[in-house]
Structure 1
Amino acid sequence: MNDWHSWAALVVFVGAYALIISEKIHRVAVALGGAGLMLAIGATDDVSAFYSEDSGIDWNVIFLLMGMMMIVGVLKKTGMFEYLAIWAVKRAHARPFRVMAMLVVITAVASALLDNVTTVLLIAPVTLLVCERLALPAAPFLIAEVMASNIGGTATLVGDPPNIIVASRAGLTFNDFVVHLAPLAAVLVAVLIALCRVMFRGSFVYDEERAAEIMALEEGEAIRNPRLLVQGLVVLALVVAGFVLHPVLHYEPSIVALLGAGLLVAVSTVDTSEVLAEVEWPTLAFFAGLFVMIGGLIDTGVVSEVSHELADLIGGSELGGSMTLLGGSAVLSGIVDNIPYVATMAPITADLVHDMGGSSDHVMWWALLLGADLGGNATAIGASANVVVLGIAERNRQPISFWQFTKYGLVVTAATVAVSVAYVWVRYFALA
């Protein structure tokens, strides 16, 4: 980091991060302002910011979000989310903690089969309606769900974008993830539920009158447009199939989501302007700005320098390397979005694995992914799903502050990473 551009880029990023934490300026304004400064000081340029796969805006993420937001916007008009809200509350007998536990499990399982961002886009509207019906604060439920989505996304190849990056680099299969990470993810979901019982205990207020009102409702009456619901569910099923069949079809998730959104708008009678109004444009703008700022750190060598320092700490010990990767990735992924972090660390990890003889159980790769995926829970901007949920909450007048999310995120991250450290040590070293 001898070039002044590196230090200037670091100052801009740290300053923007501090403003996001302080919440004195809206995070979208900070992200776009920081992106503008990165371009102004020459830390990145228009070609890198808009066209580079390594350091530019990840258009696959942007258009995946836009397409899924449009599909969710159409489904909202059918009454489906009201139906699911009433169904979930009735199955949990309107007991707030049971409702939260049910939503956490549903979110984790769905995130393993879809991706975590798509899952929170579908679950968040249901959660907001549940909390409205039961007169409960929505923030604890949304925070618990986004953490469940990041944990559940760890379990499979398609659950989280970093998993796809590593699978491609390391030659890992869907079954490899299920065998090595799915059992741990199941344990971590149970740990999350136990932590939620303690962290949010003040939010589990049972209102007997409201509970009785919901138990008396017929969820089927919430469906306002059955024909549109069928159309929406068919398209959603096709989109999910497109995600799962990515290795065969070779369509990026963003393309699948956009095709699905376009098909749904075309075959239904919904007004296109109303569907576009459901898109969280501020959230997309925040992502774009954040990608450009991180791209400035990548282009000036800051991220690479940090990654190489981490590699130097690892040395030649597989146990020490695995633990350093897991812990270091958890810390860094709470600060920098885990997608560019994993993209930067993947080639370094590949070199380390090669130098150590190419371990057959891929422990170094699992350590990198566990740290990156679980570390995303640490702060409000540590993972894409976090940012999406904060945007949805703000739009629905249930804002979640950076520190409100982070104070719980740090606890959950510390607990889940500690369990993961024990898991890695026992499975790959103590019992090897």
Structure 2
Amino acid sequence: MHREHALWKRALSMATGGAALLLAPGVAGAAAAGETLDFTAHWAGLTALVLFVIAYALVIGEENLHLRKSKPVMVAAGVIWALVAVVYAQYGDTRTAEEAVRHNLLEFGELFLFLLAAMTYINTMDERGVFDVLRAWLVSRGFSLRTIFWVTGLLAFLISPIADNLTTALLMATVVMAVGGSNRGFVTVGCINIVVAANAGGAFSPFGDITTLMVWQKGIVEFQEFFVLFVPSLVNWMMPAVLMSLVVPKVQPEPLTERARLLNGAWIVVGLFVLTIVMAVSAHNFLHLPPVMGMMTGLGLLKLYGYHLKRRDQFFPAPDEDWAESGLDLEESQLEEARQPSRSSFDIFRSLERAEWDTLMFFYGIILCVGGLGTLGYLSVLSELMYGGLGPTGANILVGMLSAIVDNIPVMFAVLSMLPEMNHGQWLLVTLTAGVGGSMLAIGSAAGVAVMGQARGVYTFFAHLKWSWAVALGYAASIWVHFLVNASAFE
């Protein structure tokens, strides 16, 4: 995920996101929304806007500058909120800034802890060999290229609602690259298919994408209501997949052998992850508590089980894999040596360390920056421009198109902060479009950027662009199907 904001995405997002916000001072006469005043034409508002643009420009140049994306937005967030506090204090209001920043910190805190628990589970399953075994099984089956195309796409669509679209895309891309080998054409369309499928699968689950998680935690869409987006999401993947499959040959690649094995406790970790998801949903639906309570309780259970694994690995390590597979008899001295405490025994804190800390801190910076600009009145103006000028349907379709250019996380957080007056069908629509819109460009989603880094030189921006028309057809078809099958939600 360190390459989530590749150069193309950064240049385009700067031009689009910055231009949209820079339009705001020209209509600074918008009325105050509740306790929030309009400072879009005030020196403090303009300074905050320029700071955000500069910070995002540094995010765009992350790879060239070798500057982690979290650093500029974290600094900008602090300065922007200092400006908010100063300008409100000048008008005799010392409470609004404090209440607003605490509200934003609470939203970030819930998101941060939720993602930390989920990332730790994913990293633990990876460490226990769950994903390696799945990949090895697929690679060694001897499927035809067309079968691999459909199987990897289907698995990406079905796994991403649970394991998140980025992890799923990387896992399936390794299978396509291993089987495709030097067949660049197959690897290209296979990677495009995986990116589209992973993003589509993530759109109908609160766990599949950061944007859907934010919508769920906001309480706008209930857990079970996300699944009405299953059919539109399926259409979003299937339409371009059918078109791309026409160029995939039915040839049989040479079967590959790849060894992998599950480590102790792998299936129990998977079961604990499922239990954790159930607890998160139950906490929200039945106890009316934030879902993060269930996730953190599940993380506690994983830490307790990790203690058991660590003790087991120290005193009863498994015999070496090569010994086990060779079938040779082991000397008693060898067995005694194998039972000695292992230096690489399981440690749950290694899984915690492997969490994407830069990404988590980037979320902090973005949420606080956007929240600060909202407190200065910019989101009210932007809401009026989009939802007042285009109407809910046009604005929500535009959100998806912007998500292909600008990172969908700040776009969705801005929409959630605006809270435009929309019926339930429209909220489901923006959840869908923000989730799948990024598939239209290789730079439009974290999954696409990560796979570009993995299949460097084969799956590229322009290779994806050749099939963007097919992905755009799927985007349009999914919107049409949503209006068709979920018509009652628009009433």
**What TM-score does the superposition give when structure 1 sets the normalisation length?**
0.71
**Number of residue pairs matched by the alignment:** 393
Which of 128, 137, 144 is the aligned partner of 2:174? 128
Is 1:324 matched with 2:394?
yes
- The C-alpha deviation readout for 1:312-366, integer Å capped at 9, x for no partner, is 214xxxxxx3431332222344425244133124x3224xx4xxxxxxxx43333
Match of 2:435 in 1: 373
Which of 366, 375, 383 is the aligned partner of 1:299? 375
Unaligned runs of 5+ in 1: 315-320, 354-361
Match of 1:39 in 2: 78
Distance 1:408 1:20 in 2: 27
Displacement of 1:191: 2.0
Which of 321, 345, 363 is the aligned partner of 1:287? 363
Q: How does 1:139-158 map to 2 (within 5 A)?
A: 144-156=193-205
Residues 95 and 56 (structure 1 numbering): CA distance in 2 closer, same or farther, change over 3 Å? Answer: farther
The alignment yields a C-alpha RMSD, in angstroms, of 4.4
Which of 415, 420, 424 is the aligned partner of 1:342? 415
Unaligned runs of 5+ in 2: 1-39, 86-96, 311-345
321-330 or 304-313: which moved more?
Answer: 321-330
Q: How does 1:94-133 map to 2 (within 5 A)?
A: 94-112=143-161, 114=162, 117=164, 120-121=166-167, 124-125=170-171, 127-128=173-174, 131-132=177-178
Is 1:8 matched with 2:54?
no
Residues 70 and 393 (structure 1 numbering): CA distance in 2 closer, same or farther, change over 3 Å? Answer: farther
Could you tell me the percent identity over the aligned residues?
20
Distance 2:52 2:433 in 1: 22
Letter in 1 for 2:170: A
Match of 1:78 in 2: 128
Residues 18 and 94 (structure 1 numbering): CA distance in 2 closer, same or farther, change over 3 Å? Answer: farther
Match of 1:234 in 2: 271
Is 1:419 matched with 2:456?
no
235-244 or 165-174: which moved more?
Answer: 165-174
**What TM-score does the superposition give when structure 2 sets the normalisation length?**
0.64
Displacement of 1:108: 1.9
Is 1:363 matched with 2:432?
no
Distance 2:128 2:66 in 1: 32
Distance 1:280 1:408 in 2: 32
Contact kept? 2:172, 2:194, Cα under 8 Å? no
Displacement of 1:190: 0.2
Contact kept? 1:349, 1:365, Cα under 8 Å? no
Residues 397 and 108 (structure 1 numbering): CA distance in 2 closer, same or farther, change over 3 Å? Answer: closer
Residues 5 and 160 (structure 1 numbering): CA distance in 2 closer, same or farther, change over 3 Å? Answer: same
Distance 1:139 1:285 in 2: 33
Match of 1:358 in 2: none
Displacement of 1:96: 4.4
Distance 2:84 2:447 in 1: 26
Structure of larger gyration radius: 2
Displacement of 1:264: 3.9
Letter in 1 for 2:417: T
Distance 2:70 2:361 in 1: 8
Letter in 2 for 1:121: T
Distance 1:377 1:309 in 2: 25
Distance 1:82 1:32 in 2: 33
Contact kept? 2:129, 2:262, Cα under 8 Å? yes
